[in-house]
C-alpha cells in the first residue's frame, strides 16, 4: 500500500507530466532526504522513472507498470538474459539483463515470458558459432573474397542477432565510440582484454597492428585500445593516408568500393619481418580493410608465419555493412 507522501508524489508528477526533486520537496515541504527516499522506492517498483543525470534530474510516471519480470521467467532464462542483454532506451537509459529485457518488451508491446523463451532459443542458435568464446569468420571471408590474405579471422561476438538487434558487446562498442565517454571506453577495453591476450599467447604473436580509424573523433577507441591494452609485443606501424575527402568504409555500400578504399588508404610502414602478426579492428562488415592490410603485409614479406585478424564484433553472414560504427 502506498504511503500518503508517495501518493502525493505520483499525483504531482501525473498533473505536471514531470518533476524535479526540488519541485517535489518545495511542494510537499519536506526534506530533500525524505523525497529521495520516496523517489528511490517508487523507481524500484517501476512506478516512476528517472530522466537525466545530476544536477538536471527529472521524474516521470513509468510508461507501463507490469508484473515483476523475474517472477515470470525460469531461472535458466534469467541467467542467460542477465549475462547477455543490454538495452538503451530512446531516452538514453541503460538497462542490463532482465530489467533491460523487460523494458525492451514493454516498448515493443511483447509478452515477456514468450519473448524471453524466443530470445534464449535465438541466442543458443548464434552461440553455436562460438568456440572458446571466439567466432571463426573464415567461412564468411572465403565466401566474400576470391583471395583471402588472412590466415585466420575471429570475432569476439556478432554485432547483432536477428529480431533482437545489437548484442551486448555490439551495444557497448557503439556507445563507447559514439559517446566518447572514457568510462564506457574503459569498460569495453576491460571486457575484451583477456580474450585478446589469450589469442596473442595461443598463436605466439610477436607483433600487433591496430587498424587506424577514418572518422575524426576527439577520443579514438582504437587509439585507447593501443594505449591501454597490456600488450608487450611490438606494435606494427599502420597508418591511414589523408585524402582531400576522407571516406569512411562504413559509408560504402559496394564491396569493390571498400576494397579500393582499403588498398588506397591503408599503409603498413614497417620494414621488420615478424613471425606471427595480429591485426585488430573494432568491427568487421565485409572484412575488406583487414584482408587488404594482410595482403600488403604478405606482399612486403613482413610475416614469416600467420596473420590473424581479430574484430571486437562482426556481421553474421554475407557482405553486411555495420554503418553505425
What are the residue boundaries of the structural domains of the chain, listed by start?
A: 4-61, 69-127, 130-314
CB 159 within 8 A of CB 314: yes
Pick the CATH number of 4-61 from 3.30.465.10, 1.10.150.120, 3.20.20.70, 1.10.10.10: 1.10.10.10
Cis, peptide link before residue 107, omega less than 30° from 0: no
CA gap 80, 16 in Å, rounded: 39
Confidence of residue 254 (pLDDT cuts 50, 70, 90): confident
N-term to C-term CA, the chain: 47
Position with higher pLDDT, 244 vs 48: 48
Domains 4-61 and 130-314 share a fold: no
Cell of 38: 520516496
pLDDT tens, residue by residue, 258-281: 777 778 888 999 999 999 999 999
Over residues 132-151, the mean pLDDT reads 92
CA gap 311, 309 in Å, rounded: 7
Residue 150 predicted with pLDDT over 90: yes
Q: Which residues contact 240 (CB under 8 A, 6 or more apart)?
A: 212, 213, 214, 265, 266, 267
Angle at 170 between CA 167 and CA 172, to 5 degrees: 110
Supply the pLDDT for residue 247. Answer: 62
Supply the pLDDT for residue 182. Answer: 82
Q: Which residues contact 60 (CB under 8 A, 6 or more apart)?
A: 13, 17, 18, 48, 49, 51
pLDDT tens, residue by residue, 89-106: 887 888 889 989 988 998
The beta-strand segments (E) located in 172-213 are 207-210
Residue 1 predicted with pLDDT over 50: no
Position with higher pLDDT, 252 vs 142: 142
Cell of 202: 595461443
pLDDT tens, residue by residue, 165-218: 999 999 999 988 888 788 888 889 999 999 999 999 999 999 999 998 877 777
Strand partners, 281: 311
Strand partners, 267: 239
Supply the pLDDT for residue 162. Answer: 92
Angle at 123 between CA 171 and CA 201, to 5 degrees: 70
Supply the pLDDT for residue 321. Answer: 45
Q: Distance between alpha carbon 57 and the CA centroid of its chain, in Å?
A: 26
CB 71 within 8 A of CB 113: no
Sign of CA dihedral 93, 98, 101, 105: negative
Q: Please identify, in words, the CATH class of the domain defined by 130-314.
A: alpha beta
Residue 256 predicted with pLDDT over 90: no
pLDDT above 90: percentage of residues in the chain: 47
Angle at 120 between CA 118 and CA 125, to 5 degrees: 95
Q: Which residues contact 261 (CB under 8 A, 6 or more apart)?
A: 247, 249, 252, 288
CB 312 within 8 A of CB 155: yes
Residue 12 predicted with pLDDT over 70: yes
Amino acid at each position: 500500500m502506498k504511503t500518503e507522501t508517495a501518493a502525493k508524489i505520483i499525483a504531482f508528477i501525473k498533473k505536471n507530466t514531470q518533476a524535479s526533486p526540488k519541485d517535489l520537496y518545495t511542494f510537499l515541504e519536506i526534506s530533500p532526504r525524505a523525497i529521495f527516499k520516496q523517489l528511490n522506492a517508487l523507481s524500484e517498483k517501476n512506478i516512476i522513472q528517472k530522466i537525466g543525470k545530476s544536477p538536471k534530474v527529472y521524474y516521470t510516471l513509468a510508461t507501463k507498470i507490469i508484473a515483476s519480470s523475474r517472477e515470470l521467467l525460469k531461472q535458466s532464462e534469467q541467467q542467460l538474459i542477465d549475462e547477455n542483454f543490454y538495452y538503451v532506451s530512446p531516452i538514453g537509459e541503460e538497462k542490463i539483463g532482465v530489467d533491460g529485457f523487460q523494458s525492451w518488451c514493454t516498448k515493443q508491446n511483447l509478452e515477456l515470458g514468450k519473448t524471453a523463451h524466443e530470445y534464449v532459443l535465438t541466442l543458443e542458435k548464434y552461440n553455436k558459432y562460438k568456440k572458446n568464446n571466439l567466432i571463426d569468420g573464415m567461412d564468411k571471408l572465403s565466401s566474400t573474397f576470391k583471395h583471402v590474405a588472412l590466415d585466420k579471422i575471429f570475432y569476439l561476438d556478432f554485432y547483432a542477432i536477428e529480431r533482437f538487434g545489437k548484442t551486448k558487446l555490439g551495444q557497448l562498442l557503439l556507445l563507447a565510440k559514439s559517446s566518447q565517454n572514457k568510462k564506457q571506453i574503459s569498460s569495453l577495453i576491460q571486457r575484451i582484454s583477456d580474450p585478446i591476450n589469450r589469442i596473442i599467447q595461443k598463436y605466439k604473436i610477436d607483433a600487433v597492428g591496430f587498424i587506424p580509424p577514418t572518422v575524426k573523433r576527439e577520443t579514438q577507441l582504437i587509439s585507447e585500445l593501443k594505449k591501454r591494452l597490456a600488450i608487450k609485443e611490438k606494435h606494427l606501424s599502420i597508418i591511414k593516408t589523408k585524402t582531400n575527402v576522407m571516406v569512411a568504409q562504413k559509408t560504402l555500400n559496394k564491396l569493390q568500393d571498400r576494397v579500393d578504399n582499403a588498398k588506397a588508404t591503408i599503409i603498413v610502414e614497417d620494414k621488420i619481418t615478424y613471425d606471427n602478426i595480429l591485426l585488430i579492428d573494432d568491427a568487421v562488415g565485409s572484412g575488406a580493410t583487414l584482408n587488404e592490410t594482410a595482403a600488403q603485409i604478405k606482399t612486403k614479406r613482413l610475416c614469416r608465419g600467420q596473420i590473424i585478424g581479430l574484430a571486437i564484433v562482426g556481421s553474421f553472414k554475407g557482405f553486411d555493412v555495420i554503418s553505425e560504427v
